[in-house]
Amino acid sequence: MKFLGIIPARYASTRFPAKPLALLGGKTVIQRVYEQVAGVLDEVYVATDDERIEAAVKAFGGKVIMTSPHHNSGTDRCYEAATRAGGDFDVVINIQGDEPFIQPSQLEAIKECFNDATTQIATLVKPFTEADGFEALENPNSPKVVLNKNRHALYFSRSVIPFQRNAEKKDWLKGQVYYKHIGLYAYRTEVLKEITALPQSALELAESLEQLRWLENGYTIKAGITHVETIGIDTPQDLQRAEEFLRQMNAR
C-alpha cells in the first residue's frame, strides 16, 4: 500500500499565533514534524494557506502545497492537498503540525490498521496509566475514546468514559483501561473524499470533536495503540515544556 502524509499548518492561531514557525531546539516546529515523518511514509507534504510557512518549508527542503484559506478543519485542508499532490495513494495520513515528537512507531501502528481490508478510517490511542492520575483523565482538552473488541471506536468524548458507577473515582484507573485519543488520522483515499462532503453533525457540535461526524454517519474508525508519550504544542507554555523535553532526550 502507498501512504501519503499531509501536515496541515495554519499561521493564525488564537492561543499561539505563528506556532508552526516557532523555534524548538534551533528548528521550526513544522520542520521537526516533517523530519519525524518523512522517512516513514511514501510521500509527505505540508498543507498551508500562508506564504510564510510555504517559504519556511521550502527553505529546509520540504514539500509544501498551498491550499484555500477558507477550510473549516484540518481534514478539509488535508483533502485539498491530497488532491493537488496527485499520485496513486491508497491511504492519506493527516498529521498534526504541532506534534514535533511524533514517533515512527506511532505511524507504523496507524498504518497497520489498514492490513484489515475493511478499515475505512484509523486513528491512534494511548492508555492512561495510574501514574497519570484522575486529574489528567478528566481533562476536557484530552478526549477519551471507548473501543470495541475489534479496536473500533464506539464513541469519543471530552468527558470521562466509561463512567464507573460502583467505584470511587480515585480507583477508576485501577479497574478499567481508559484510552486517550491522539489526533492522528488516516483515511482510505475514497473515504476522505466522502467525509469532507458531510455536513456537521449534532454530536460533533456538542463535543466539538470532528470524528463524531464520521461515526454518526456510519463510518468505522479503527484504533492503533501506542504507549509512547508525546508533547503537542498548543500554547507558548507547551513550547517551553517541549524545549525541556528535547533537552532531556538529547542528554540521554
Sequence-ordered list of residues with C-beta below 8 angstroms from that of 176, at least 6 positions apart, any chain? 162, 164
C-alpha cell, 108: 507504523
pLDDT value, residue 183: 87
CB 81 within 8 A of CB 45: yes
Helix, strand, coil share of the chain (percent; to 5): 40, 20, 40
Cα(211)–Cα(214) distance, rounded to whole angstroms?
A: 5
**What pLDDT score was predicted for residue 33?**
96
Residue 252, pLDDT above cutoff 80 = no
Task: Say yes or no to pLDDT of 232 above 90.
Answer: no
- Name the amino acid, one letter, at 227: H
Q: Which three cell numbers stand for residue 246?
A: 528535547
1-24 pLDDT, tens digit each: 999 999 999 998 888 999 999 999
Q: Is the pLDDT of residue 211 over 80?
A: yes
Render pLDDT for 109-166 as a digit per residue (tens, 0 to 9).
999 999 999 999 999 999 999 999 999 999 998 999 999 999 999 999 999 999 999 9
Provide the pLDDT for residue 229: 80
pLDDT of 199 reads: 95
Q: DSSP 3-state assignment of 186?
A: strand
What DSSP state is assigned to residue 247? H
